[in-house]
């Protein structure tokens, strides 16, 4: 019989709210050399989740909710805080509330791995709302609405933790963050059968779940240590043009989308829903500057305006047609260049 979903227990290492401090058992022998410390790295390439059709089985896997926002690493040092995107760009100024909260954590140095998100009224992460709070793609706004769900601890008070197994890293992270509901929050592990948790996530309108192997170190790339299982498919596609419409918001009837097959772009259909009026107007202005007479893909349509394949859109969809086109696609927003989003690759 499967277990119902429930949150993990309280942090294990301490019961107080005081900062974590190490206490020597006895005075250090002056003749004994200092133990070596690991220098805090400028950047750690992120571990990425591999798409899976269903949750894995067995006690070696733990589960979390999949958050839909911008993946960031928060570097905390005694004199500074830096928020680094997946592409290696410094976005500290874009997330001032997260940076301020990081300065209040009782730790000398640390690197938190997590997702910057904006929540809707139901507590679900809303990528479109996050994009709007930042001023859209290419915008310069700072988002005071964004919070951080931290799900890993990669460096802690002078020690590189990336070679430690996930269960040990999570043990330290839970103790560091506790059960705070502030701007920086712990992404809770959920004890449940993966299939039961996925069904509950889908029922509540969430994007899906993440499965992580308890005993693996932190390894950059998509190596299968982390898996993502989605309720609704959501991927990044290149915008290669649009169909004009006098009746549609921003004058855009549909956006034309493309994915990669090997090194070439291939047309995978279009999207005409999900736009907010302000987004559509700004998107039209951006596309006007990217017009080209050289089609980046082959499209059997009349009256299409082709654009340089520069903008990357986040698209929700339900399935693929037999001829390789997206079904029931909906526009969610534009990805930032600094986010280094993966453009969908056709098999």
* More confident position, 79 or 336: 79
The answer to the question of residue 87 being in a domain is yes
The answer to the question of residue 21 being in a domain is no
Helix and strand numbers, DSSP H then E, in the chain = 5, 20
Question: What are the pLDDT digits (tens) for 233-276?
Answer: 889 999 999 998 877 777 889 999 999 999 899 999 999 988 88
Are residue 226 and residue 247 in the same domain, yes or no?
Answer: no
How many domains, the chain? Answer: 2
Mean pLDDT along residues 48-71: 94
The pLDDT score that the predictor gives to residue 192 is 87
Query: Is a pLDDT exceeding 60 seen at residue 142?
Result: yes
> Minimum mean pLDDT among 15-24, 229-238, 305-314: which range?
15-24
What's the CA gap between 181 and 179, in Å, rounded? Answer: 6
The pLDDT score that the predictor gives to residue 248 is 76
> Minimum mean pLDDT among 165-169, 220-224, 248-252, 281-285: which range?
248-252
Sheet holding 190-191, edge to edge: 6-7, 190-191, 61-65, 208-213, 226-230, 50-51
Six-digit token pair at 187?
């992404």
Determine what percent of the chain is predicted with pLDDT higher than 90: 60
* 140 catalytic residue (yes or no): no
Determine what percent of the chain is predicted with pLDDT higher than 70: 89
> CA separation (Å) from 302 to 220, 249, 305?
44, 20, 9
Could you say which of 10, 54, 66, 301 is catalytic? 66
Are residue 190 and residue 259 in the same domain, yes or no?
Answer: no
The answer to the question of residue 1 being in a domain is no
Are residue 306 and residue 223 in the same domain, yes or no?
Answer: no
CATH code, domain with 317: 2.40.50.140
> Minimum mean pLDDT among 10-24, 242-256, 318-332: which range?
10-24
Q: Which domain holds residue 297?
A: 233-339
Are residue 193 and residue 249 in the same domain, yes or no?
Answer: no
Boundary of a domain, candidates 206, 230, 254: 230
Query: Is a pLDDT exceeding 50 seen at residue 17?
Result: no
Question: What are the pLDDT digits (tens) for 161-217?
Answer: 999 999 999 999 999 998 888 999 999 998 889 999 999 998 888 889 999 999 999
Boundary of a domain, candidates 211, 230, 249: 230
Are residue 43 and residue 166 in the same domain, yes or no?
Answer: yes
Name the residue among 154, 143, 136 with its Cα closest to residue 219.
Answer: 154
The answer to the question of residue 163 being in a domain is yes
The answer to the question of residue 8 being in a domain is no
Are residue 105 and residue 144 in the same domain, yes or no?
Answer: yes
Mean pLDDT along residues 325-337: 88
Strands 184-186, 147-156: pairing is: parallel
CATH code, domain with 110: 3.30.470.30
What's the CA gap between 45 and 72, in Å, rounded? Answer: 11
The answer to the question of residue 27 being in a domain is no
């Amino acid at each position: 019989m499967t277990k119902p979903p429930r949150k993990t227990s309280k942090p294990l290492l301490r019961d107080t709210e005081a900062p974590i401090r190490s206490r020597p058992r006895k005075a250090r022998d002056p003749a004994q050399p200092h133990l070596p410390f690991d220098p805090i790295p400028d950047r750690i390439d992120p571990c990425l989740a591999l798409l899976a059709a269903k949750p894995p089985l067995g006690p070696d896997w733990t589960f979390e909710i999949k958050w839909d926002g911008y993946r960031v690493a928060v570097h905390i040092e005694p004199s500074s805080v830096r928020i680094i995107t997946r592409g290696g760009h410094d976005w500290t100024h874009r997330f001032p509330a997260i940076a301020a909260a990081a300065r209040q954590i009782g730790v000398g140095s640390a690197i938190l791995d997590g997702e910057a998100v904006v929540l809707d009224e139901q507590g679900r992460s809303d990528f479109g709302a996050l994009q709007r709070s930042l001023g859209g793609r290419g915008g310069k706004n700072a988002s005071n609405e964004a919070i951080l769900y931290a799900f890993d601890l990669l460096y802690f008070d002078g020690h590189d933790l990336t070679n430690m197994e996930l269960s040990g890293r999570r043990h330290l992270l839970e103790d560091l963050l506790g059960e705070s509901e502030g701007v920086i929050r712990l992404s809770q592990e959920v004890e449940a059968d993966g299939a039961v948790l996925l069904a509950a996530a889908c029922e509540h309108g969430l994007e899906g779940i993440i499965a992580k192997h308890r005993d693996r170190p932190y390894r950059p790339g998509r190596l299968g240590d982390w898996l993502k299982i989605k309720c609704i498919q959501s991927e990044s596609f290149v915008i290669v043009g649009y169909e004009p419409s006098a009746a549609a918001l921003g004058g855009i009837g549909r956006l034309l989308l493309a994915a990669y097959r090997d090194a070439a772009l291939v047309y995978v259909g279009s999207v005409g829903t999900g736009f907010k009026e302000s987004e559509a107007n700004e998107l039209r202005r951006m596309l006007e500057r990217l017009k080209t007479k050289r089609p980046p893909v082959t499209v059997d349509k009349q009256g299409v305006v082709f654009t340089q394949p520069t903008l990357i859109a986040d698209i929700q969809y339900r399935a693929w047609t037999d001829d390789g086109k997206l079904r029931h696609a909906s526009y969610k927003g534009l990805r930032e260049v600094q986010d280094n989003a993966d453009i969908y690759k056709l098999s």
